[in-house]
Amino acid sequence: MQIHQDFQWLDPSARGASVAMGNFDGVHRGHQSVIDLARGPALLGIITFEPHPRQFFAPQSPAFRLMNAEARANRLARLGVQHLYQLPFDATLASLTPEGFVNDVLHQGLGISHVVVGADFCFGKGRTGNAQDLATLCEERAIRTTIAPLVADNGTEISSTNIRRALTEGRPRDAAAMLGHWHRVEGAVLHGEKRGRELGYPTANMSVDGLHLPRLGVYAVLVDILTGLQKGSYHGVASLGVRPMFGENRPNLETFLFDFKGDLYGQHLSVALVDFLRPELKFDSLPALITQMDADSAKARDILNAL
């Protein structure tokens, strides 16, 4: 998959695509239905924005994203997307009228042949354009437009909002049912305090900055090592939280990989939350913590071996 960071000066080989357009936070089943409608004889592309427009307009608001740009790109590549047009969302783009966006970005810039959006899609300065406006403006420029219906499951709309709610409540399997895949945290392994190594549980530490926080606690996880000589898939157990026993309060994800030996610093991991095991606790002693970690690991192994 090729990633393009701008809509100007595009190579001719990347023009003429049939695209799905939106933020695609989570790349959930509703997003996947939009992408499927864009499939055809033309190149399959995605138009999305980075940062998320909500981050641009309200940078101090609480973190809400289900995935970072890296995780989104990885998920879209798995779906067979050939071109990702990840447009920088800045003051210039935000100021474009609906007509200006269609003309300057879609028609003259990207030269797309077909665009698919969800029925609730809004665009242009002040979100003044809707899906029907998009269809009208595109038709004037010979760009075919498809408006995809919203997707529901058992009467519940599949949306990023409902997925966030499931994760906040510690229901990762319900989130996965709406996503169509496990909810994952992806990123580089960072240097930590190395306390886990001293306890017999060396962990891979990852930042969750900028992401919506699932319920804090311990999870059974599936882990993919995406880079390095030890690329592969593993089972594990992870703690998402602030480490109250050690007085630290910046949330991160610490993952222990079963049956793994090696150094993962700097490598990129994808950690899928499968089941919530227990909330984060503060223990009276290190032996009590280790006993609980042993129990967490045994429970996680049973869960993951049954998948």
Catalytic residues: 254
User: Token pair for residue 49?
Assistant: 């924005």
**Spatial distance between the Cα atoms of 296 and 292, rounded to a whole number of angstroms:** 6
Residue whose entry in the numeric block shows the structure tokens 């529901």: 152
CB 188 within 8 A of CB 271: no
Please state whether the peptide bond connecting residue 51 to the residue before it is cis, i.e. omega within 30 degrees of 0: yes
Three-class SS state of 155: coil
User: Token pair for residue 207?
Assistant: 């930042």
**Residue 76: C-alpha distances to residues 70, 214, 221, 303 (Å):** 10, 22, 21, 28
Q: In the chain, what is the greatest distance between 2 CA atoms, to the nearest angstrom? A: 71
**Residue 273: what residue type?**
L
Q: Which burial class, exposed, middle or buried, applies to 200 when counting CB atoms under 10 A from its CB (0-12, 13-18, 19+)?
A: exposed
